[in-house]
Amino acid sequence: MDCDRGRGVLVAQLLGAETSWFAITVTLVLVLIVQIMKPALEKLGAGFALTSRPAFKIGDDIGVKDLQGTVLEITGRSTVLRLRDGRRAHLPNTDVVDETIIVYTTDQFRRTSVNLEVEARHSVTEVESVLLAALATADAVVREPPPRVRALGFGEDSVTLSVRFWHESSLGAASDALDQTVRALSSGLDEAGMALASGSLLVELRSADP
């Protein structure tokens, strides 16, 4: 009888050892699987986040890192952009989720500013009238909200002004508005006999949502 008990204890010990090794093996295999699948799971999670609670949608113009373009597609793995030069960029959704995203087409209009220095012999009011009249000739500049001119400060024998105007929010419309604005301002100042400080145009571009 004692012999039978001994055998039972031995069998239990062996089974316990086998069970322990089996549990350890299963745990190691699961950990290995999780590590292998982690990148794919992160991409799927990022894709789900973009599609379920999107900060942007297909057709929007956005900026991510140093890229600007139109969103063509949002898949489970990547966001596809058409860049301004016609190329396509496939951005991993994990990168998009972690980056600051600028959405240019959130609203119908957005604002751009052009800063310039004009000789101080002209009053701000006189220059403002000339600049606003010139902006009225730029078709890409919208009338509402109206453009404005703000005085930023004085330089040596010059005054710095900020010309702020609104345009359609897309990247293409912004480029057209900027081109037309710079041309119109240059022509308007020249016709009025107002010279830019030191004969140069100081341009600083800013964009802002309403």
Domains and CATH numbers, the chain: 1-104 (2.30.30.60), 109-208 (3.30.70.100)
Question: d(Cα 199, Cα 210) in Å, to the nearest integer?
Answer: 33
What predicted TM-score, i.e. pTM, was given to this entire model?
0.66
Kindly report, residue by residue over 55-80, the tens digit of the pLDDT.
788 899 999 888 899 999 988 788 89
Q: Is residue 107 within 8 Å of 210, Cβ to Cβ?
A: yes
Q: Cα–Cα distances in Å, from 35 out to 38, 95, 107?
A: 5, 19, 42
Residue 204 pLDDT > 60: no
* Furthest-apart CA atoms within the chain: distance in Å: 120
Which of 30-44, 93-107, 166-180 has the weakest average pLDDT?
30-44
